[in-house]
Amino acid sequence: MSFPTVSQNKMKWFVLSAVYGRELKVLELLEKQGFRAFVPMQEVVKTDNSGKKKRQREPVTKNWVFVQAVQKDLDAFKRFAEIKYGWKVCYLTETRHVPALHLVASTPSSKKVPMVEKRVILTIRDEDMERFIRFCEEMADDVKYYAPSEVDLHRGDRVRIIGGTLNGMEGVFVKVQGKRSRRFVVDIPNMLVATTASIEPEFIQIIEKKSRKQE
């Protein structure tokens, strides 16, 4: 089966759901087909059948694969993966409130067009994804991951790193659950939070300070 060349026009970051824990297999296939894809990894300690503990790397998020592509090319990849390997790969979607287009013509100009709920394919801004990938790759095993509900980013200061491999990177300096000191945090909005304690406060420049009265 021939496979289309990945177009370089109007690329976006999508999130694919590769069911049954096939995220690394899907990642490998995407990269072989010329896509740029990413799965955040973390080191964990596992106990084998003999009781011995060993360290190994595994995906942070189950089933998710972040991929940069034009949607039509990714549609073709999804069909290819299912036909060739029997893998069901789906887009991650979200619910949004959008104008009810079928009611536009009948809605008086003096009134707002009614809104309806619609499931749409989730995409991530380039700047958010690029910052997150850079942070995860540069900090490697010093990164800890959290769900968005575990870190209240609204309570932190907006900061920029000065010097080192992360020079110029912006993020949030905030308290993380279970930790005494504040941590430097970057995130994929509403999806995943990554933090590190390896950056000393003297290398952090405050861009926007959170008023402690608001906490």
pLDDT of residue 102: 57
Q: Which of 171, 158, 170, 175 is nearest to 210 (CA)?
A: 158
Q: H or E segment at 158?
A: strand 157-161
What's the first-to-final CA gap in the chain, in angstroms? 58
* Interhelix angle 23-32/71-85, nearest 10 degrees: 120
| pTM summary value | 0.82
Six token digits for residue 21: 């824990």
Six token digits for residue 162: 């000065």
Determine what percent of the chain is predicted with pLDDT higher than 90.
53
Q: H or E segment at 188?
A: strand 182-188
Following CA atoms 71, 75, 14, 102 in sequence, which dihedral angle do they give, to the nearest 10 degrees? 60
Q: Which of 21, 8, 120, 2 is nearest to 68 (CA)?
A: 8
What residues form DSSP beta bridges with 172?
Answer: 158, 185
SS3 94: strand
pLDDT of 184 above 70 = yes
Six token digits for residue 148: 């968005």
Residue 40: band (very low, low, confident or very high) from pLDDT cuts 50, 70, 90: very high
How many Cβ atoms from other residues are within 10 Å of residue 44's Cβ?
Answer: 11
Which among 23-27, 98-102, 154-158, 209-213 has the top mean pLDDT? 23-27
Following CA atoms 133, 11, 21, 122 in sequence, which dihedral angle do they give, to the nearest 10 degrees? 100
More confident residue, 125 or 50: 125
Six token digits for residue 197: 């304690």
* Total residues found in the chain within this entry: 215
| Residue for token pair 């003096």 | 110
Six token digits for residue 122: 């989730």
Domain boundaries, the chain: 12-91, 126-214
Residue 114: band (very low, low, confident or very high) from pLDDT cuts 50, 70, 90: confident
How many Cβ atoms from other residues are within 10 Å of residue 112's Cβ?
Answer: 8
CA distance 190 to 177: 17
What residues form DSSP beta bridges with 188?
Answer: 192
